[in-house]
Structure 1
Amino acid sequence: MTLLLMLLGLVALILINVPIAVALGVVAVVAMVTTQGLWILPNVALVMFDGATNFPLLAIPMFILAGAIMNSTGLSRRIIAFASALLGFVRGGLAMVNVGVSLFFAEISGSAVADVAAIGSILIPAMRKRGYPKAFSAALTSSSASLAIIIPPSIPMILYAVMADSSVVQLFVAGIVPGLLGGLGMMVMIYYLAKRHNWPVEETFQVSRVWETFKEASWALLLPLIILGSIFGGVVTATEGGGFAVLAAILIGGLIYREVDWRFLKEAMVEGAMQTAVVMLLVAASALVGVYLTEQKLPQQLANGILSFTENKYMILALLNVFFLIIGLFLHSAAAIILVVPVVLPLIKAVGIDPVHFGLVVTLNLAIGQQTPPVASVLITACSIAKANVWEVSKANVHFIGILLFVLLIVTYVPWIPMALVEYFYR
């Protein structure tokens, strides 16, 4: 009953436009004072401070800053030119370039919104000029950008690891195969649609053109190898890898290419600071909720209630998939992870589900949530860039949401596919 009352109070505050972080804090403080008395108030600040100073969270602003530096130093243009030289000879090649570049950018920023903002401003106008429908261009850019939270480094994965006390690096490794499967599936769908609608071939394949664009982009192509190689190789932690990414982006973009758009960089850094502040406030407020729930043993009670209904872990995963898909309609990924993961984690452990596997399931659900209105932060960003109607883009996006759902089913019910690399390298 207590958990239900807290949830109803939270929903009521959100419906009257109270920010989620503030609503979380208010609900937690009211619950703590009601059950434990006013003496608990001095602990509130300490709990919030402790929650927001978790070392792995420092990776979030670092990866956002690395992406901002990359987007402001001409790296985007070089990568797109190289991808076009590789894929432009295929029917629908420019749309495939969109997916390929999203996969690359995913390995730098870890943020789908940053991905769609950087790529969409270049590729959506280019696709429109080549005759691709506006709604399709925006839908593809939006869905391919959501691969950024599946492929490492992923900001939602970092948040999940903190909430679940799990390994960030193992989550990153687990995301590689599903991310590549999603990208490949989207490319196959693009080819089918391109043949059906007779979309254009961009250019003939020329080895000289590939070599020329490769040389131009070679330093940029080193970035993900440097960042992920150092993390997976055990040279640095994921948090230190974020700082390493910033340094590498500055050296390559600022000193080697020497193309810094200072106005864009300033805007991107301010936006990144705002995103980080929002996430940190959410984490601090969620620490209050987590402490209260733990003391009252409410997650354990929820777990026992569900286990009395079924102990089949695949049935429980199906129920949680439906639940996360629903809350993904209304909550941003950070808020959903912070709100739900601490509550369901005892249930996950009770039925023997690997926390790393579950983290990947959660991340994929929230990637789909970024594409489904009314919240759909990534979809709305793409629509804004393309100046397209949200509902028209949503209809065009059905094909790509279907691909993401297919990957989700594979990850959920054939766990050895995403977990194979984790088992090989870390267990």
Structure 2
Amino acid sequence: MSLAMIVTLVVFVLIFLLRMPISLGMIAAGTFYFIFTGTDLGSVANHIMNTYYSNYVIIAVPLFIFTANVMNSGKVTEMIFKFATGLAGGRRGALGHVNVIASLIFSGMTGSAIADASGLGKMEIDAMKKAGYDDSFSCAITAASATVGPIFPPSIPLVMYAMLSGASVGALFLGGMVPALLICLGLMIYVSVVSKVRNYPREEKVPMRAFLTFTLQAMPALLTPIILLMGIYTGVVTPTEAGAIAAIYAILVAILAYKAMNLKGLLDIIKDTIKDTGSVSLMVGAAAVISYIVAREQVASELGTLVLSLTDNKYVFLIVVNVIILILGMFIDTSTIQLVFVPIMIPVAKAFGIDLVHFGLVVTLNMMIGLSTPPFGMLLFITAGISGTSLKAVMKEIMWPIIAMLAILLLITFVPEIVLFLPKTFGLM
């Protein structure tokens, strides 16, 4: 490792320890590297702009962010919650099941765990609190179920991974469906067990007439993922164009179907989307600088040679990757992991002959688990803040849902066909 690379790593670690924004830390570290090596900054900027300016896939990110912000309006989340309540029936712990089902439905419209937890999550936690559920349990199941958002299509992290790896967005979206359903199944089993042990209340079964009413009211929102995915898999539109259609459809649903948004509300959503996109863009640009340095220093190549010298078993490599990402996820934001560390691992995965769609779902699910993992899981802070519950209590309660999600992670790690079955069936592989 060159002296310039060592200085870069030291600067990055120091800025991380000082709790400065990660994107600024990466830019500062990159600046030190370029000063040490006397690199022409113009050539670096030219390389990065040529890489991303012509990347059509990344345009889908702000479109999905906008759709998530629109769908996060109170009326839309209310309709989804009522529909999920009807599906859950009158079983014990029904609101816990509603929490999981609603998150799955909401994920088909937003692709964002943060949007799920902060919007729909508030409604779920408030309802569970009124019904007599423990606050820590309500927060834990809300945080855990929100991780489904970026696994079930559409998914902002999967779009970012497609940009980094060159894997098909459509194949990644289809590949995420079965793992997302398995996570929901695991969480619902957990809810059933806890509800029985703690004697959580049964909800009144929703009459068929009321359920049909809820279904009709929720239908405009429920059609969002259907329109989105049918457009992609029939070849009518690209994933990016589908993102644009979803954004327009979300506006029509919010304004015409639910009358939940006026012109002022739309302008506020556009402002929020610009802020969110700016944050993502800054992170992507900063990560591109680090990726340039990593490529120049041949870090990925050296890492690949080292790993291949230690083992020729791809499953050993996948276990190591899982452990590393899980540890990083306890302390570092998922976008940093995806944009800085995952690109280093992709060439090694290729060397082992691992399918990039399979690898993408493994690392993405792993990163989403990190959002609920103590001590710095973002979803824990969001749900605890919404409910006013002690963060320590939420961290204690989240451990069993994390174990359930880790079991699904191991399952898809060692059985790739769980991920690849649907993409192969639809001829995308």
TM-score using structure 1 length: 0.95
Tell whether the 8 Å contact from 1:73 to 1:260 is kept in structure 2 after alignment: no
Separation in 2, partners of 1:59, 1:197: 44
Please name the residue that 2:322 is paired with: 321
1:189 aligns with 2:190: yes
**By how many angstroms is 1:27 displaced?**
2.0
Tell whether the 8 Å contact from 2:93 to 2:192 is kept in structure 1 after alignment: yes
SS across alignment from 2:69:
helix
Separation in 2, partners of 1:394, 1:263: 38
Please name the residue that 1:169 is paired with: 170
Tell whether the 8 Å contact from 1:72 to 1:265 is kept in structure 2 after alignment: no
Please name the residue that 2:405 is paired with: 404
Structure 1 residues 168 and 372: alpha-carbon distance in aligned structure 2, compared to 1, 3 A threshold: same
Find 1:19's aligned residue among 13, 18, 21: 21
**By how many angstroms is 1:357 displaced?**
0.8
Separation in 2, partners of 1:298, 1:24: 16
Separation in 2, partners of 1:114, 1:408: 23
Please name the residue that 1:368 is paired with: 369
**By how many angstroms is 1:289 displaced?**
2.1
Counterpart code for 1:49: M
Separation in 1, partners of 2:283, 2:7: 20
1:45 aligns with 2:49: no
SS across alignment from 1:330:
coil
Tell whether the 8 Å contact from 1:329 to 1:374 is kept in structure 2 after alignment: yes
Tell whether the 8 Å contact from 1:324 to 1:362 is kept in structure 2 after alignment: yes
Tell whether the 8 Å contact from 1:60 to 1:155 is kept in structure 2 after alignment: yes
Structure 1 residues 264 and 250: alpha-carbon distance in aligned structure 2, compared to 1, 3 A threshold: closer
1:226 aligns with 2:227: yes
Counterpart code for 1:140: I
Deviations 1:51-73 (A, max 9, x none): 55332121111112112212226
**By how many angstroms is 1:34 displaced?**
2.5
Alignment of 1:70-81 (within 5 A): 70-72=71-73, 74-81=75-82
**By how many angstroms is 1:180 displaced?**
0.5
**By how many angstroms is 1:147 displaced?**
0.6
Separation in 2, partners of 1:52, 1:230: 25
Counterpart code for 1:164: S
Tell whether the 8 Å contact from 2:228 to 2:242 is kept in structure 1 after alignment: yes
Tell whether the 8 Å contact from 1:121 to 1:385 is kept in structure 2 after alignment: yes
Counterpart code for 1:99: V
Structure 2: gaps (5+ residues)? none
Please name the residue that 2:31 is paired with: 29
Counterpart code for 1:34: F
Structure 1 residues 167 and 5: alpha-carbon distance in aligned structure 2, compared to 1, 3 A threshold: farther
Q: Which moved more, 1:134-143 or 1:74-83?
A: 74-83
**By how many angstroms is 1:376 displaced?**
1.0
Please name the residue that 1:159 is paired with: 160
SS across alignment from 2:67:
helix
Structure 1 residues 126 and 156: alpha-carbon distance in aligned structure 2, compared to 1, 3 A threshold: same
Tell whether the 8 Å contact from 2:126 to 2:387 is kept in structure 1 after alignment: yes
Separation in 1, partners of 2:254, 2:46: 40
Structure 1 residues 17 and 395: alpha-carbon distance in aligned structure 2, compared to 1, 3 A threshold: closer
SS across alignment from 2:149:
helix
**By how many angstroms is 1:249 displaced?**
0.9
Please name the residue that 1:270 is paired with: 271
Separation in 2, partners of 1:408, 1:223: 28
Please name the residue that 2:239 is paired with: 238
SS across alignment from 1:140:
helix
Please name the residue that 1:290 is paired with: 291
Tell whether the 8 Å contact from 1:52 to 1:283 is kept in structure 2 after alignment: no
Tell whether the 8 Å contact from 2:7 to 2:33 is kept in structure 1 after alignment: no
Please name the residue that 1:281 is paired with: 282
Separation in 1, partners of 2:266, 2:188: 31
**By how many angstroms is 1:262 displaced?**
6.4
Deviations 1:261-313 (A, max 9, x none): 66765555433332221211111122222223223322101110111111111
SS across alignment from 1:151:
coil
Separation in 2, partners of 1:353, 1:172: 18
Tell whether the 8 Å contact from 1:160 to 1:359 is kept in structure 2 after alignment: yes
CA RMSD of aligned residues (A): 1.8
Please name the residue that 1:123 is paired with: 124
Structure 1 residues 192 and 261: alpha-carbon distance in aligned structure 2, compared to 1, 3 A threshold: farther
Structure 1 residues 147 and 261: alpha-carbon distance in aligned structure 2, compared to 1, 3 A threshold: farther
Separation in 1, partners of 2:331, 2:228: 33
Separation in 2, partners of 1:233, 1:183: 27
Identity within the alignment, %:
36
Separation in 1, partners of 2:387, 2:262: 22
TM-score using structure 2 length: 0.94
Separation in 2, partners of 1:71, 1:289: 34
**By how many angstroms is 1:168 displaced?**
1.5
Structure 1: gaps (5+ residues)? none
Please name the residue that 1:145 is paired with: 146
